[in-house]
Chains A and B, each alone.
Chain A
Amino acid sequence: MHDTKIEATLSDSAWSGGEAPFAVNSKKLGMWLFIVSDTLTFSAMLLVYSWVRLANPGWPRPFEIYPAIAKSTFMTVILLASSLTMVLGVAAAHRNDRAKTVRWLLLTALGGIAFVVLHTTEWINLIHEGYTPWSTPQGVPLFGATFFGITGLHMLHVTIGVIYLSVMALGYGGGKFDADDVEVSGLYWHFVDLVWMFVFPMIYLMSIKL
């Protein structure tokens, strides 16, 4: 289904608008281009974080082994596991196994929900310790601003991903979307996972309370 569609586009001449230079459908190309731009957003934010950290003496290192590091490590494993279920969902979709695809997609969304819930408890814990987006006990408000800014933006991505995957599970189960759509939603989900692979070491592991 997937391949024949692309071949059909390829066989049209360039003059009639039918060319697929990368041999992927436009939805997939669009998602990739979005991912490139979002990568730059997150890299800019992480670089600003490093910049601000160098510029501020006494940068807080508030993360103790429990709960912060234990929890964020567990969250990382959950997110990685949800990527695995996603990729199995995409494979099932390409085999045209609708029931299994829906199950994998819902499991992936569940992983996302678990991540957001755990992260929220971790935020609440920090807020109780006196870290807010505008102040810290050490008097370095920029720690709060950058920490909650970056992790908040990532959490927003996860939340949007959970909604996206739920819609995809319902729509694909109902025959409204095809395997290509599932694959595109998978690209987004893996990207959210990938971003966390940088946020976790740079924000959490670099600020462990020793």
Chain B
Amino acid sequence: MSAQGDGSEGHQVGSTRLFVTVWVWLVAITAFEVFLGYERLQPELMLGLLVALSLVKAALIVSYFMHLKYEKLSMALMLVPPTIFCICMIIIFFFPDSWRLMQIRLQ
């Protein structure tokens, strides 16, 4: 019980104020995404923007709500880069094929 209170060694749990600030940002980005949904943008640009904004939201959730920012750096390095690597591998294997399909369709 006592170990928690002193906020020892990078185990700061974060204040209510911080959590509310992060939450407001998340809601604001969501609102902007919905706004973008009604702009008649190119599908590729729209997808790019939406995914980029979602990645920002994911980063906020993972670092503050899921507390990864306050864990040991080695833990974040063990979790995040391999996940990104695997997702990139899926994209590399899938994307040329779906691109080809789209080209065939457009002909």
Interface residues of A (CB under 8 A from B): 1-4, 21-24, 29, 32, 36, 39-40, 43-44, 47-48, 50-51, 54-55, 57, 69, 73, 76-77, 80-81, 83-84, 86-88, 90-91, 94-96, 179, 183, 186-187, 190-191, 193-194, 197-198, 200-202, 204-206, 208, 210
Determine whether the beta carbon of A22 is less than 8 Å from that of B75: yes
Nearest chain A CB to B31 CB, angstrom units: 8
- Listed A/B pairs (13) with beta-carbon separation below 8 Å: A22-B74, A22-B75, A29-B75, A32-B79, A40-B86, A69-B34, A80-B30, A87-B19, A87-B65, A190-B61, A193-B61, A201-B37, A201-B51
Determine whether the beta carbon of A43 is less than 8 Å from that of B30: no
Determine whether the beta carbon of A36 is less than 8 Å from that of B79: yes
**Number of residues from B at the complex interface, CB < 8 A:** 56
In-complex Cβ contact of A198 among B23, B38, B58, B66 (8 A):
B58
Residue of A4, A22, A44, A88 with most chain B CB atoms under a 10 A cut-off: A22
Say whether B107 faces chain A, with CB atoms less than 8 Å apart. no
Determine whether the beta carbon of B66 is less than 8 Å from that of A190: yes
Residue of A1, A73, A197 with most chain B CB atoms under a 10 A cut-off: A197
Determine whether the beta carbon of B53 is less than 8 Å from that of A24: no
**B58-76, CB under 8 A of A: which get 1 and which 0?**
1001101111000110110
Residues of A with C-beta under 8 A to B34: 69, 73, 205
In-complex Cβ contact of B65 among A86, A179, A205, A208 (8 A):
A86
Residues of A with C-beta under 8 A to B13: 90-91, 94
Determine whether the beta carbon of A22 is less than 8 Å from that of B58: no
Nearest chain A CB to B41 CB, angstrom units: 11
Nearest chain A CB to B71 CB, angstrom units: 6
Determine whether the beta carbon of B58 is less than 8 Å from that of A3: no
In the complex, residue of chain A having the shortest beta-carbon distance to the beta carbon of B34:
A73
- The B17-50 residues at the A interface (CB cut-off 8 A) are 19-20, 23, 26-27, 30, 33-34, 36-38, 40, 43, 46-47, 50
Residues of A with C-beta under 8 A to B50: 201-202, 205-206
In order of increasing CB-CB distance, the 4 nearest A-B pairs are A205-B37, A3-B3, A201-B50, A22-B75
* Alpha-carbon separation in the docked complex, A16 to B19 (Å): 40
Nearest chain A CB to B94 CB, angstrom units: 5
New contact pairs (4) apart from A36-B79, A88-B19, CB-CB < 8 Å: A2-B3, A80-B26, A96-B4, A201-B37
Residues of A with C-beta under 8 A to B62: 190, 194
Nearest chain B CB to A143 CB, angstrom units: 16
Determine whether the beta carbon of B27 is less than 8 Å from that of A77: yes
